[in-house]
Amino acid sequence: MGHTQGLWAWFLQRVSAALLIFFLGTHFFVLHFVPGNIDINFAGVQTRLQSALFIVVDLGLLVTGLYHGLNGVRAVVLDWWPRLASSITWVLWIVGVAATVYGWQTLLVFLR
Amino acid sequence: MYKLQDPIGTRNRAYGVSGWKAFSSGPVRKAGMWAWILHRISGLAIILFLLLHIWEISSANRGGTNLFNQTMAGLKAPLYVVGEWLLFLAVVYHGINGVRLVLFDLNIGVKKQKTLFWVVLGLSAVLIAAGTSAFLSLLV
């Protein structure tokens, strides 16, 4: 189990990286470099989220961003304390799932 | 077998704790080491931001339309614009250097890692220069 888990972590880190280049590129461009979008408010976000593309991008960012970021934190923790591998993996999974659920609930507020 | 257990960025992660110590003590601050430590630091900065970002956007969940609009208005303060610009630098570098790391995984350019680091910095500089005006316009 140990070996395959590490290999999956490595592989999914690459997959999420590739997805993030697309998702984050879109996100950054739309929110910072499209002039009309600079002013962010509830109604504006709600209007944007009428489009399925934005829901997919936002949900994709939430899941892939958290996975990639927390997996990266795991790599840094293992730099310092390699023995903590299994406990830190558990802690980070809990943080990740909690943050995903919380973020998803927020997305639902805009979709209501 | 340790590498197989956790082969994240096999080549750069091999430094481990000795990487952090060697970098901070000086003698091995070469291109590959800079690339590695900048990737680590920008990565940590980005995940810290992501967690804050989820919290800040979730103001809509905690306090509805009013709290969300209030929070967004508050985030227009120069401090946050500068913070977002720094985030932009971190994301651009991390993303482009990440492509460099994936190329190494595919056994492409490993022997030219130093040159490729300069290419990463060059491309980052171009993208940052192109994007910076959007942030400047929010400050003035």
Which residue from A3, A24, A75 is facing B4, i.e. has the nearest CB?
A3
Nearest residue on chain B to A40, alpha-carbon basis: B72
* pLDDT score of B8: 39
Residue B22 belongs to domain spanning: 2-139
Mean pLDDT of chain A: 89
Name every chain B residue with its beta carbon within 8 A of the beta carbon of A70: 47
**Interchain pair B60, A109: CB under 8 A:** yes
Say how many domains are in chain A: 1
Interface test with A, best of B50, B85, B140 (most A CBs within 10 A): B50
pLDDT tens figures, A60-81: 999 999 999 999 999 999 888 8
Query: Which pLDDT band, with edges at 50, 70 and 90, does B9 fall under?
Result: very low
pLDDT recorded at residue B42 = 97
CATH number, residue B36: 1.20.1300.10
Q: What is the pLDDT of residue B133?
A: 87
Total number of domains in chain B? 1
- In angstroms, the separation between the Cα of residue B95 and the nearest Cα of chain A is 7
Each residue's pLDDT tens digit, B73-123: 999 999 999 999 999 999 999 999 999 999 988 888 888 888 999 999 999
For residue A61, give the nearest of A26, A86, A98 by alpha carbon. Answer: A26
Range of the domain at A69: 2-111
Contacts of A13 in chain B (CB under 8 A): 8-9
What's the pTM value of the predicted model, to 2 decimals? Answer: 0.87
Rounded Cα–Cα distance for residues A51 and A53 (Å): 5
What residues have CB less than 8 Å from A67, skipping those under 6 apart? A12, A16, A96
User: What span, in angstroms and rounded, lies between the C-alpha atoms of B129 and B138?
Assistant: 16
For residue A83, give the CATH number of its domain: 1.20.1300
Q: Determine the pLDDT at residue A9.
A: 85
Per-residue confidence band for B46, with pLDDT thresholds at 50, 70 and 90: very high
Q: Where are the alpha helices (DSSP H) in chain A?
A: 2-28, 42-48, 52-80, 85-111
Share of chain B above pLDDT 90, in %: 56
Q: Which of B121, B137, B10, B25 is nearest to B85 (CA)?
A: B137
